[in-house]
Structure 1
Amino acid sequence: MVTDLPQRIAELLASTSAGEAKPKVDELVQRLCDITGLELHPALFLDKHATITAQGKAVSPTTAAQCAEDVQRTRIFMQGVYAAIQQKLQHLHQRNHQQGHQQGHQQSIDILYAGTGPFGLLLIPLLPLFDAAPLRVTLLDIHAESLEKVQRLIRFLGVERFIVRLEQADACVWQSPEQFDLIISETMRQGLIQEPQVSIFSHLQQFLKTDGWLIPEMIRLDLWLSAGASLAGRECKNPDLHLGPVFKLDKTSALQLGKGDTGCAQGSLWVPDYADVLQDLKLTTFIQVFAGYQLHENQSQLTLPLYERNARVLPNSMLHFRYELGVYPQCVFRYEKLPELADGVLPDSLEKNSQGIYHLKRLWHKIQLRKQASQSAAARQQLTAIPENEWLLDKILLDQLGVGLEPAMQQLYSARALVDVEYWLASANAGTFAPQQVEQTNNAIRHFIDNKQQALNCRADLPLDEVQLAHWHEQGYLIVPGVLSASETAAARAAIWEFLGMREEDPASWYQSSAQMKKIMVQLFAHPAFEVARSSSYILRIFQQLWQREDLVMTTDRVGFNPPETDRWQFPGPGMHWDVELTPPIPFGTQALIYLTDVEEHQGAFCCVPGFHKKIDQWLAAQPQGVDLQQQDWAQWPVKPIAAKAGDLIIWHHALPHGSSPNRARFPRMVQYLNMYA
């Protein structure tokens, strides 16, 4: 039958990259689906038609067909098979030429293709390119459906003359009366797991001529110590450490395994000293289809690495490996692990990490203990010995390093190694820590540990006058005008607009969904525009004057965005509440924000109950037991909305109930939250 498919195959064989090959592979796969009548991606595909054999999983015809979409895999395998056949034909031509003078007869190339799938992808589409070449092909597949579709393709391409036999059989037990020049089989996954590639080759090698070839020629598994995905997207100072090859499937090893000799499939590797970050074992797959036609790590689904996470192999020890055959073939490893974290000593707060910072190693250790506590009595025991107030030391550390408490804790809990946390912290500080920042952080930590209090220097200039201080003591809140300039508030607003992907001039964009929004809170912590307020000596002195002490730490908090209510968007809160544990006596503490826009009373203004800090202890003592004190009928309380200008600081005693309010104006309320604590 006349078709342009051979021309498309020739173009694919001539391609030199995955990018060049992709449109050709996509077109080829679509054409093969049309010819065979196969639906490549059926709805609700559950892959129920795979066959589980004693030597591994034979994937379903549909799954086998889907493998053709793996562009580099298809390109390299087809090019390698084509080159191997070409070379065998060249050898045959030379042999026939010699024997023709001597004996007067021709020979052929005998090919066995085991595990054809529904497309016979690695061979059948190539056959038209060989025209009248002396090829004799035997096809095997365990699924009748695959062979039926392969027959359709053979008839469509008009290559029946090459086909000696199509047989439904398990290639691991099939018997042949003849020998083959090439045995082709691609029945594998990465790491040679689950599927029967090894068993197929170790069985079929007995039907290979002395000078015959297995295709692929060689599959090699290598073992590495790796940092795994935790270092994805960034340069690693400690690249993966190659421990050595653990298994090689080729003609020689297939012969050994076929004789029952498993010595080639097991052994030991020495594990040297290595960097702490290399906690995983990584198994890589290298495939030499034929000669220079090769697939390296990550070039195909077949060469994606496999990880044994958190292996923590003991340095200076022997690691033992073996390749196991059977229902689920796989490489298995036996090794000694490093002692569990809970078995070690909790680092002292004054023990420095690799960046010279106090307490970070201890904080990392504590988080790991918390993650292990449900299953480890040793972890629970260590946690009980930690002072209750040490959470404040954790907070001092993270605030001094300029990272928000919430994102920092997310990193600490999700990171797989301390070095990942260190990298994240450095990235949040322009890639590295300035020496003065490290010194400032360490001083704050030592100051806390030594329990020193630095009294307010009243001889220095203090920003708040007697009227302001009287208002603070009586009302519990204060508006300090103009702590940021117009240009500084504009820069802060611009940072929020950019982060949220919204435009000031486009009100419709103010309501687009954003994963960075939690109610009206914006999960933006680090930006140069917000460091202006955090590093302001004027704002520092305001807090110091109210606290009556010098040794304060600035928090690294988020920002807020409260757009006007519409028919489709209503104010989500937070409404009135306290952020302090409601157990008397309530200690002194502050909270604060800076308006980044002019805010009227009806514009989502900050609200509070002035003066309540003076009577909260008596009010708490009068409340009945067991009630949720946060749930109040706030309409009965004297709640006051606080209007102010962009750049004004609003600071309040944390004993005041407070919150935001619905924005019934025409422009969003934007704020920067900040605070200081002793």
Structure 2
Amino acid sequence: MANNINPLITQLLACTTAGEAKPVVDELVRQLCEITALDLHPALFLDEHATITPQGKAVSPTTAAQCAEDVQRTRVFMQAVYAAIQQKLQHKDSQGISLLYAGTGPFGLLLIPLLPLLDAARVRVTLLDIHAESLAKLQQVIDYLGVSHFVTHSEQTDACTWQTDQRYDLIISETMRQGLIQEPQVSIFSHLQQFLKDDGWLLPEIIRLDLWLSSGGSPALGASGPPDVHLGRVLQLDKASAIQIGRGDMSCAQGSLWVPDYASRLKHLKLTTFIQVFGDYQLHENQSQLTLPLFERNARVQPNSLLRFHYELGAYPQCVFAYEKMPALTVHSLPDSLEKNVQGIYHLPRLWHKVQLRKQAGTSSDIAQQLADIPASEWLLDRILFDQLGAGLEPALQKCYAAHELAEFEHWLANETVGDMTPEKIQRANQAILHFINNGTSGLDDSLALPLDAQQLAHWDEQGYLVVPGVLSPEESAAVRAAICDELQIREDDPATWYRPAMPMQKIMVQLFAHPALEVARKSDYIRRIFQQLWQRNDVVMATDRVSFNPPETATWQFPGPAMHWDVDLVVPIPFGTQALIYVTDVAENQGAFSCVPGFHKQIDEWLAQQPRGVDPQQQDWSQWSIKPIAAKAGDLIIWHHALPHGSSPNRAQLPRMVQYLNMYR
């Protein structure tokens, strides 16, 4: 293989950005892997060849090589090392300089590829690594580049205990992770500093750790989160502090910081890493894997208190913080439903607080009591809130549970629902919440134009279901189909795309809740009046439900359900309630059609009373029931009494069945 390393190094030293450097670094790493026959990303790699020392983890040769792929780290470190060498050589006039490189890894990347650009008569190099495999592969790189005459000594050793009589102009080591955790950078520098000449330099020159109060660094919060609050510096590793720690004096790595009053959203502690490799060659927060921030989540440090810290050496080096925490969320009383959040929405702070309590259920009797005091009927209030804001119940609860703070959940609600969180939307939600809390009743408006005629109402009363044709136009149905296809990344006219294993489905349910095409039916005055007429009241709430895709069965894909079932607690008496869907494709009886047992709503209470104690009514031999599949056209609404057993059915036709679910409730 022709030696293309030298031109790559020349290019890399001229790069000024990570984007400019990336193709150069990628090619450099590729060639180094080829030289050393190193598989940079082996299957099932667990860093199993790392060495755990009393001073920290020495990563495996493979992991050390992978660090080269961190483009900004590689660019900045190599440019800094080269600049430091040049400056040292200028200061030494005709004299040579000696370099110690500890923790070389298999590539010796921070120094060895630079050597062909230097004068071997003036540069002498000592190489240390704890892994024999790294040094063996490094020798292949040295031989390939023809720079063995630079190397005066190479040794497999632990740099934290190694001894020598020699003194060095430069000591280079990058044996660290962000926050100086886990790896032995501090111990290596505090030991090796004794081998520096009086005017010698450690590279990196400065590694500084700073502590902040933070909203968590969540991209979801965007610009709405308050700015981080800088508490202060907790450690600066440089030549002076390395000497101090090397003498056994840890006072530079411990202390206390005052915590001021701060915004309640700043619940987390953030530890940042700044690296000054040499002069202006620096790595700032998030510019490299080495400078990613570390978070201590939900620290909730007590304002106007002292936070104490120290850097802990040993097998797992790390910064340790001790502080007084604010009272736990569970200590505070559950907010009232009429307490508003920052956007002015009722019940949202209480709902979020309840979810946080449930995450800690079973941890204390106080939590158990708070949860026990919440009336069961409040579940309906939670649902009304989400539906009025246009959030699907399932994803909203999942996000509420996962959010570290209410602000993060608020931001999700504002961005994952259709339309902005307008004053009008908030007002509608608040009115519905107040109506529910005040046990408001709202009979059917006498002036309302009722869409269902006497024949339809008679069918509803007798059979418990209705097919209402044409609630969506062909264009509106097509828009819903397009939304489903986009979500699943399929083509309606290409059966080969209908069965991709990674599609975001639960059985035949597609977890698509928020889309403008779905809002057409939800905002339809005609559909609303149908529900109002059946409920005989005006104050029904439109649910934010999902969609469905049921393709034809094949030899390798069989209908997964849901089969026949009820979605209501089977406790007598069964209350009135509705469920509904809109076909957005034409659906034949054998095309996965919605199926139900007509008329069963009239006998369900008596039937339940006759069931043996301990038997689950949902477990039935449905082949013995009079199940009717309902065929209808695209745009037709099927609405049924929720006391009817119902379900989808296997699609044994040629085309998929697509559906938008919707409902109104009270």
1:55 is aligned to 55
For structure 1, the residue ranges without an aligned partner over 5 or more in a row are 97-106
Aligned match of 2:594: 606
Higher deviation after alignment, 67-76 or 443-452 = 67-76
Structure 1 residue 334: Cα displacement: 0.9
Does structure 1 residue 214 correspond to structure 2 residue 202? yes
Report the counterpart of residue 99 of structure 1 in structure 2: none
Out of 301, 318, 342, the residue aligned to residue 330 of structure 2 is 342
5+ residue gaps in structure 2? none
Match of 1:126 in 2: 114
Paired with 1:360 and 1:577, the residues of 2 have a C-alpha distance of 32
Contact 1:593–1:671 (8 Å) recurs in 2: yes
Q: Deviations over 1:505-537 (max 9, x none)?
A: 222222233432222222111122222221222
1:74 maps onto 2:74 in alignment? yes
2:282 aligns with 294
1:539 paired residue among 522, 527, 546: 527
User: CA 1:129/1:404 → structure 2, altered by over 3 Å: closer, same or farther?
Assistant: same
Whether 2:625 is the aligned partner of 1:637: answer yes
Question: 1:401 Cα deviation (Å)?
Answer: 1.0
SS in 2 for 1:671: strand
For 1:628, what is the secondary structure of its paired residue? Answer: coil
Q: Name the counterpart of 1:180.
A: 168
- Please state how far the C-alpha of 1:614 moved relative to its aligned partner: 0.9
**Equivalent in the alignment of 2:645:** 657
**Bigger CA drift: 597-606 or 443-452?**
597-606
Conserved 8 A contact 1:230-1:416: no
Return closer, same or farther for 1:601/1:28 CA change in 2, 3 Å cut-off: closer
Which of these residues, 568, 577, 595, is aligned with residue 580 of structure 1? 568
TM-score (normalised: structure 2): 0.95
Equivalent residue number for residue 359 of structure 2: 371
Identity among equivalent positions (%) equals 71
CA distance in 2, matches of 1:37, 1:599: 60
| Conservation of the 8 A alpha-carbon contact between 2:220 and 2:412 | no
After superposition, the Cα gap between the structure-2 partners of 1:2 and 1:461, relative to the gap in structure 1 and judged at 3 Å, is: closer
CA–CA separation in structure 2 for the residues paired with 1:640 and 1:6: 77
The 1:237–1:57 alpha-carbon spacing in structure 2 relative to 1, beyond 3 Å, is closer
Distance in 2 between residues matched to 1:155 and 1:541, nearest whole Å: 83
CA distance in 2, matches of 1:669, 1:32: 55
Distance 1:282 1:431, change over 3 A: farther
Deviation of 1:368 (Å): 0.5
Match of 1:591 in 2: 579
CA shift for structure 1 position 232? 4.8
Corresponding residue for 1:102?
Answer: none
**Cα distance change of structure 1 residues 335 and 643 upon mapping to structure 2, 3 Å threshold:** same
* TM-score, with length taken from structure 1: 0.93
**Secondary structure, in 3 states, of the residue corresponding to 1:228?**
coil
Assess, with a 3 A threshold, how the Cα gap between structure 1 residues 264 and 549 changes in structure 2: closer, same or farther: same
Task: Show the counterpart of 1:549.
Answer: 537
Task: Note the 1:438-457 alignment, pairs <5 A.
Answer: 438-457=426-445
Which has the larger displacement, 6-15 or 368-377?
6-15
Q: Which residues in structure 2 correspond to 1:246-395 (within 5 Å)?
A: 246-395=234-383
Question: How far apart are the structure 1 equivalents of 2:121 and 2:530?
Answer: 91
Cα distance in structure 2, aligned partners of 1:675 and 1:32? 62
State the structure with more CA Rg: 1
1:20 corresponds in structure 2 to 20
Between stretches 385-394 and 113-122, larger displacement belongs to: 113-122
Q: How many residues of Structure 1 are paired with residues of Structure 2 in the alignment?
A: 666
SS of 2:218's partner is helix
SS in 1 for 2:384: helix
3-state secondary structure, aligned to 1:499: helix
Single out whichever of 599-608 and 225-234 deviates more from structure 2. 225-234
**Distance change (3 Å), C-alpha of 1:515 and 1:230:** farther
SS at match of 1:235: helix
- 2:337 partner amino acid: S
1:442-481 correspondence to structure 2 within 5 Å: 442-481=430-469
CA distance in 2, matches of 1:431, 1:84: 56
Task: Map Cα deviations across residues 63-91 of structure 1 (whole Å, 9 max, x no partner).
Answer: 32332232222221111111101011111
Q: CA RMSD in A?
A: 2.1
**How far is the alpha carbon of 1:3 from its aligned partner?**
4.3
- Residue 422 of structure 2: aligned partner: 434
After the TM superposition, which of the residue ranges 315-324 and 597-606 deviates more from structure 2?
597-606
TM superposition shift of 1:589: 0.9
Counterpart amino acid of 2:69?
E
How far, CA to CA, are the matches of 1:16 and 1:155 in structure 2? 30
Kindly provide the CA deviation profile for residues 580-628 of structure 1, in whole angstroms up to 9, marking residues without a partner as x: 1111111111111122222222222222111111111111111111222
Aligned mates of 2:38, 2:534 — CA distance in 1: 76
Inter-partner Cα distance in structure 2 for 1:39 and 1:544: 67
Q: How does 1:218-237 map to 2 (within 5 A)?
A: 218-228=206-216, 230-232=218-220, 234-237=222-225
The letter for the 1-side match of 2:320 is V
Deviation, 1:459, is 4.4
Q: Where do residues 160-171 of structure 1 align in structure 2 (5 Å cutoff)? A: 160-171=148-159
Q: Secondary structure at the match of 2:101?
A: strand
Q: What residue number does 1:154 align with?
A: 142
In 2, Cα distance between equivalents of 1:437 and 1:48: 55
Give the CA deviation at 1:646.
2.1
The one-letter amino acid of 1:70's match is: D
* AA aligned opposite 1:512: R
Q: Distance in 1 between matches of 2:108 and 2:579?
A: 70
Cα distance 1:143–1:607, how it changes in 2: closer, same or farther (>3 A)? closer
| Secondary structure of 2:235 counterpart | strand
Correspondence for 2:488:
500
Which has the larger displacement, 15-24 or 399-408? 15-24
Which deviations, in whole Å up to 9, do the C-alpha atoms of 1:341-390 show, x marking residues without a partner? 11110000011111111111111011001000122322111101111111
Structure 1 counterpart SS, 2:92: helix
1:14 positional shift? 2.0
Q: In structure 1, which of residues 614, 619, 623 is the aligned counterpart of residue 611 of structure 2?
A: 623
Residues 635, 34 of structure 1: alpha-carbon distance in 2 compared, 3 angstrom cutoff: closer
Aligned residue identity for 1:320: R
SS, match of residue 638 in structure 1: coil
Between stretches 489-498 and 33-42, larger displacement belongs to 33-42
**1-structure distance, mates of 2:447, 2:141:** 94
Shift of 1:34: 4.1
Q: Structure 1 residues 439 and 34, CA, compared in 2 at 3 Å: closer, same or farther?
A: closer
Partner AA of 1:513 in structure 2: P
Residue 525 (structure 1) aligned with residue 534 (structure 2): no
Deviation at 1:219, TM superposition (A): 0.6
In structure 1, distance between residues paired with 2:164 and 2:621: 87
Alpha-carbon separation, structure 2, partners of 1:637 and 1:430:
41
Distance 1:322 1:642, change over 3 A: same
Alpha-carbon displacement from aligned partner over 1:537-581 (angstroms, at most 9, x marks no partner): 222222122112222111111112222233333222222211111
Q: In 1, Cα distance between the equivalents of 2:633 and 2:189? A: 78
8 A contact 1:313–1:336 mirrored in 2 = yes
Aligned-partner residue type, residue 633 of structure 1: D
Cα separation, partners in 2 of 1:46 and 1:653, compared to 1, 3 Å: closer
Deviates more, 1:641-650 or 1:249-258: 641-650
Q: What secondary structure, in the 3-state scheme, does the structure 2 residue paired with 1:21 have?
A: helix
1:108-147, aligned counterparts within 5 Å? 108-147=96-135
- The CA deviation string for residues 294-336 of structure 1, in whole angstroms up to 9 with x for no partner, is 1122222211221212212222222111111122211111111
More displaced stretch, 659-668 vs 554-563? 659-668
Counterpart code for 2:462: E
More moved, 165-174 vs 287-296 = 165-174
Q: Secondary structure at the match of 2:595?
A: strand
Q: For 1:663 and 1:2, how far apart are their aligned partners in 2?
A: 62
The 1-side partners of 2:583 and 2:145 are apart by 74
Deviation of 1:42 (Å): 4.4
**Farther-moved stretch of structure 1 (74-83 vs 20-29):** 20-29
Aligned match of 1:101: none
